[in-house]
Each structure stands twice: as structure tokens, then as C-alpha cells.
Amino acid sequence: MKKYFLIIFTALIIAIIAGFFVFPQLWTTIQYTPDKVHLVVEGGIAEDEDSPIVENGQLLFSIDTVKKFVDPNVHWDAKANKVVFTTKDRVLIMKTGKLTAMVNARPVDINIPVKLVEDKPYIPIQMLDTMFGIKIKWVEENNVAILDYAKNTVQIAKVQKDNRIMRAKPALWSPAVKKGIDKDEILRVFGEDDKWYKVRSEDGFIGYIQKDYVKTNIIASGTDVTEPEDSAAWKPKQGKINMTWEYVGNRNPDTSKLKSIEGLDVVSPTWFYIADKQGTVANKADIGYVNWAHKNSYKVWALVGSGSDPDITHEFLNNTDTREKIYQQLLIYAKLYKLDGINIDFENIYLKDKNILTQFMRELAPLLKEQGLVVSIDVTFRSSSENWSMCYDRKALSKVVDYMAVMAYDQHWAASPIAGSVAELGWVEKGLERILEEVPKEKLLLGLPFYTRVWKEEKIDGKIKVSSSAVSMDTVEKLLSEHKPEVTWDEGSGQHYAEYKVGKVTHRIWIEDERSINLKSSLIHKYDLAGAASWRKGFESEDIWAVLQDNLKVKQNYNEWANANSAAAE
């Protein structure tokens, strides 16, 4: 029995060896088929769904493939038939069937346009090489497209002997992927497994070769490719940024009556807003105000609002042509009025428009920065409100803008069903800690309220009706002087509190004043923020500017503030 088993086993071994030499194709795996273009990304073969198409020798990738391997933020507007790419310094727009692309609003000729295949855009990938730091190679004989990332370290293996074999797996018994690899052929290394290197040949084959057959070397560390860095955002020469919004209603302020403010760095007049679904930018700008600001060494970051109409905002955000129209108007106005920056203040936005708002900023920011403008955006604290908080992707937006101003007020808003503080100290600090989980501290401006709400509580039909009005600090002082209520310090809110009655109506006031602003502005140094943004100029009492000058300019860190206040308390 053993004899027969030995004979059968020997015959089987002979048959295997004979088959190896007589029918070598049985020991070779077919890696690529001629029926489609195969995509190789670095050291791996992409899925069939990522297969590119070829037009006149040019490779076109589907938008899904581009999202996966090149730019996750590429935007496709099906209505306008436009593809939009953005980086820190460039905006590229291509339209299907058009041989002209727009780069930072300037026309550029291209060899092949975006093509629609079954309603899906396919994009000429070679023109994205420098923009996204990729290297594309088309190996026509093998029907293989190779994508490499220029920033990655390149390790090569130089073959030392003729007629070497690349195998599918790191084992001698594994089928060959490629045979006849001769001496001095260059392979790229993507890993190792015991006595094998994982390699890719210049014609796109991927497999394993024995370490003994090659000599490795590092030929590039990736440092020869530099991505565009964030240009250093403007900062004041001394201390933190002190910015204030200048509310402009029907007319601009008379600059002959405006006083110079020590320590102020930036004024943001509310000059522009998107007036309709067609993207018309309404303009209330005044070159005289700009001249006054520059004469006083203030930067002018004009505010651009959305009008707080979510339907209008939805329409202009979701139309690429309309967004371009808005950008062009803002660029013209910025140059015409010699602006130093643009402050975007879009509020009351549908949650479904969260991502397109981010796309709007991705497209706008490079154009503004190219013109030398500082780009900022206003957001609220994180909350469960869809239209007023959840609509902002703060983390993504912070990567695009120079500064983000958090409107740290309206804790109890105008129509709140209960009376309360505009901005309790504890509420502000808690909200600040949460937003810092998403936004870098060096980009965050803490919004400070210069206004106070006077709350009225009146009993009507057995129920308490609550209403409020926003007033200036000076108005509060006049009310207190007139009604002479007891004013107490509320430790919980970090504010003075007063209440009084007029007839049967109870009035409650959580007061914003020198002391409350001192406490809130101290958080800027405690958390090492970029500075302050106050709403709004004209509602403050004169002593407020001395507080901000002291906290933002004189005391350079939180310890100085804390020590000074500790000494004052003693």
C-alpha cells in the first residue's frame, strides 16, 4: 500500500513540475483585462466602478472617483452642468462640453472638456496634477492608468538579475503576475513581507518580488512638492484683535461726529446683503467712511448678510452661476471701496444647506484672499436649533476662513418665552469650550454684546406675557436713574441685575456694563483666542473701550488679567 502511495505521490510531483515548464500560463495570474481601463492608485488596484474612460489619449475620471482619490470636496452642479474644484488659493470651474475653464475667475483653455456619461460627469484628470499634487500616467499597452501622490516618499527597487518573477503573493508557490523582469529594471516599493517586497512595475503591474533579487533606495522624500500654505492672516501689531460691527440702516454715520477709539483695530459696517434669489448684492457702502477708518488706522471688513430669509439663501447658494455672480460683485466692491476684508454673516439657513454654505466659502475665500482681503464668517454657538446653529459646519469653515466670529449672545433672544440674560458668563464660557473643539483658537473671535434686553412681564388672562426690547448701555443707565430700582450683583450670570414695576408690568434687566464686559473679554486671554468682535458700535458706554484696551492690548495674557483683578479685589 505504501509502495503505491509513493508511486502516485511521485507521479503527481512530476506532473506539477512538468506542467510548470510545459504550460507556464497555468501558473500566471491575469491582472488586467483588455475590456476596460484599470486604475492603479499607488500600490493598489481600484475597484471596477472607478475605471476611467479615455478620450483622444486623455484620461477622464468619474466625479465619484475624483472624490475618492483626489478631492473629497469637488462640487457638481447638475443644473448648471459645472464642476467646481477649490484649494486654499485656487477655484477651478469646468463646464460640460466647454473647452474653456475658469481659474480664479480667469479663462483658461483646456484640451478636453468634462463629459457626461449616463448623467455622471467625467473629468479630465491630467489638468488637476499641479492643483492637487498628483501624478498621472497612462500605460496604453496594458490599459492601465496610474495615479501617484507627489508628496509621498518614493522607494525604488533595482532588479539585480535577469528573468526575475513578480508574484501575486509573497510565496514561491504563488502564481506569477509578471515574468521576465530583467536586470536594472526599476520597481517601486510599497511595503514588505518577510523576505519579499511589495512592488509595482513601471507598466503598472503590482505584486511581490524576493528581496534577494533587488537593491532598494529612496529617491524622493516628497519634500520637493509643496502644498499651498495658509497665508498668514492679518494681525494687529499689539495684542488681540479688537473688532466692532457698525450697524448701517438707511444712512451711513456722519464721520465728522465719530470719535477715534483707542485700541480699536477693525470696523465692520453692515453694507452689503444678498437681496434676491438672483444673487443681487445690495450696496450701502461709503468711501467717506472708509477714508475716515483708514485715517484712524482701522481696517474695514465690510459685512455681507443674507437677509435672514432661508428661501432666498437656499436659492442663491444652490446655483453655481448665482454664486459666481455674487463673488464678482463682492470683488468689484472690495476694490472700489478699498476694503481690507469681507465678513460673511449668513443667518437663518436651512439645515439641508449646511454643506453648500461651506462650498460657498470654499469658492469665495481664495478669490478674496488673492485680492489681499481678510476673510471672516460669523457663526452661533452650538445648539439643537437647525436654522440658527446646526446649519454651520464650523470645523470645515474654519479651514477656509482667516477668522470666525462666534456671536456669543442672544442666550435669551428677542422672542424668548422667558426673561433672561443676553449672555451669562457661564453660558458664554461653556459655549466657547464647545466651539473650541472644532475651531482653532487662533482663528476665533469672541462676540461681545454691547446691548441689553429690557424684559417686560405682564399678566393677561391669568398668563404671563413676556416681551423685550434691545437697548444701549446708556439707555439702561437712564432707566435705572429714572426708576431707581435696587441693583444687585448676580454672581451666576456675571452681571448686575435690576427689576422694577411700572403699573402692573414688571421690568427685568440683566445689565451689560463695564464689569460684565471685563469678565467676558477676559476669556479671550484665558483661552488664547484671536480677539473680540462686539455688536454693536454705538450701544456701548464710553468706559467699555478702556476695558477692552486694557484686556486686549495692555495685558498680554490671562495670568496678567487674573493677577490684576486679584490685586484689585484685595
Candidates 270, 265, 307, 309; CA nearest to 286 is 270
Number of domains in the chain: 3
Angle at 287 between CA 281 and CA 291, to 5 degrees: 140
Distances from the Cα of 12 to the Cαs of 4, 218, 254, in angstroms?
12, 45, 102
**Same domain, yes or no: 358 and 209:** no
Out of 173, 189, 223, pick the residue that ends a domain. Answer: 223
Burial class (CB in 10 A: 0-12, 13-18, 19+), 22: exposed
Any domain includes 478 = no
Task: Give yes or no for a contact between 139 and 34, defined as CB atoms under 8 angstroms apart.
Answer: no
Any domain includes 350 = yes
* Beta-carbon count within 10 A of 111 CB: 12
Task: Give yes or no for a contact between 305 and 345, defined as CB atoms under 8 angstroms apart.
Answer: yes
**Same domain, yes or no: 141 and 162:** no
Q: What's residue 462's pLDDT? A: 85
**Same domain, yes or no: 143 and 185:** no
CATH number (domain holding residue 198)? 2.30.30.40
Residues counted in the chain: 570
Q: What's residue 303's pLDDT? A: 98
Out of 113, 130, 148, pick the residue that ends a domain. Answer: 148
Burial class (CB in 10 A: 0-12, 13-18, 19+), 307: middle
**Same domain, yes or no: 178 and 297:** no
Any domain includes 500 = no
Any domain includes 499 = no
Q: What's residue 326's pLDDT? A: 98
CA–CA separation, 172 and 150 (whole Å): 33
Beta strands in 346-442 (DSSP E): 374-379, 403-406
Percent helix, strand, coil in the chain (nearest 5)? 30, 35, 35
Residue 423 in grid coordinates:
449672555
**Same domain, yes or no: 338 and 442:** yes
The helix-helix angle for 558-569 and 514-526 (nearest 10°) equals: 140
Q: What's residue 220's pLDDT? A: 73
Q: How do residues 332-389 score in pLDDT, each as one tens digit?
A: 999 999 999 999 999 999 999 999 999 999 999 999 999 999 999 999 999 999 999 9
Burial class (CB in 10 A: 0-12, 13-18, 19+), 298: buried
Burial class (CB in 10 A: 0-12, 13-18, 19+), 118: exposed
CATH number (domain holding residue 346)? 3.20.20.80
Alpha helices (runs of H) in 192-318, residue ranges in sequence order: 287-295, 310-317
pTM of the model: 0.91
**In the chain, which residues have pLDDT < 70?**
1-27, 221-231, 556-570
CA–CA separation, 470 and 414 (whole Å): 8
Query: Could you tell me how far CA 479 lies from the centroid of its own chain?
Result: 45
Out of 90, 122, 148, pick the residue that ends a domain. Answer: 148
Torsion, Cα 165 168 174 179, to 10 degrees, reads -20
Any domain includes 15 = no
Beta strands 38-41 and 505-511, pairing class: unpaired
Residue 407 in grid coordinates:
456671536
Burial class (CB in 10 A: 0-12, 13-18, 19+), 562: middle
Task: Give yes or no for a contact between 169 and 208, defined as CB atoms under 8 angstroms apart.
Answer: yes
**Same domain, yes or no: 436 and 325:** yes
Beta bridge partners of 95: 82
Residue 25 in grid coordinates:
500560463
Q: What's residue 15's pLDDT? A: 47
**Same domain, yes or no: 55 and 128:** yes
**Same domain, yes or no: 183 and 248:** no
Q: In the block, which residue shows the cell 532588479?
A: 159
CATH number (domain holding residue 67)? 3.30.457.10
**Same domain, yes or no: 180 and 102:** no
Task: Give yes or no for a contact between 20 and 27, defined as CB atoms under 8 angstroms apart.
Answer: yes
Q: How do residues 222-268 score in pLDDT, each as one tens digit?
A: 654 455 555 689 999 999 999 999 999 999 999 999 999 999 999 99
Domain with 191, as residue range(s), is 153-223
Distances from the Cα of 495 to the Cαs of 76, 473, 488, 517, 519, in angstroms?
50, 13, 9, 9, 9
Beta bridge partners of 375: 342
Any domain includes 252 = yes
**Same domain, yes or no: 374 and 434:** yes
Dmax over CA atoms of the chain, in Å, equals 119
Q: What's residue 364's pLDDT? A: 98
Task: Give yes or no for a contact between 61 and 70, defined as CB atoms under 8 angstroms apart.
Answer: yes
Any domain includes 436 = yes
DSSP letter (8 states) at residue 258: P
Task: Give yes or no for a contact between 434 and 423, defined as CB atoms under 8 angstroms apart.
Answer: no
DSSP letter (8 states) at residue 158: E
Residue 221 amino acid letter: S
Q: What's residue 225's pLDDT? A: 47
Any domain includes 135 = yes
DSSP letter (8 states) at residue 86: E
**Same domain, yes or no: 53 and 169:** no
**Same domain, yes or no: 135 and 170:** no
